[in-house]
Amino acid sequence: MPRHKLTAFELKLRETISANLKKVSGSISQQQLSDMTGIPASTISGYFSKRSTPNPGSIQKKSPMH
Confidence of residue 2 (pLDDT cuts 50, 70, 90): low
Residues 48-58: b if buried by 16+ CB within 10 A, e if exposed: bebebebeeee
pLDDT at 61 over 90: no
pTM over 0.85: no
Q: Cβ-count burial of 40 within 10 angstroms (0-12 exposed, 13-18 middle, 19+ buried)?
A: exposed
Question: Residue 44 CB: number of other CB atoms within 10 A?
Answer: 22
| Residue 3 vs residue 22, higher pLDDT | 22
Rounded to whole angstroms, the Cα distance separating 30 from 3 reads: 26
Give the pLDDT confidence of 6-57 residue by residue, as tens digits: 999 999 999 999 999 999 999 999 999 999 888 999 999 999 999 999 888 7
What integer pLDDT is reported at residue 63 of this predicted model?
Answer: 54
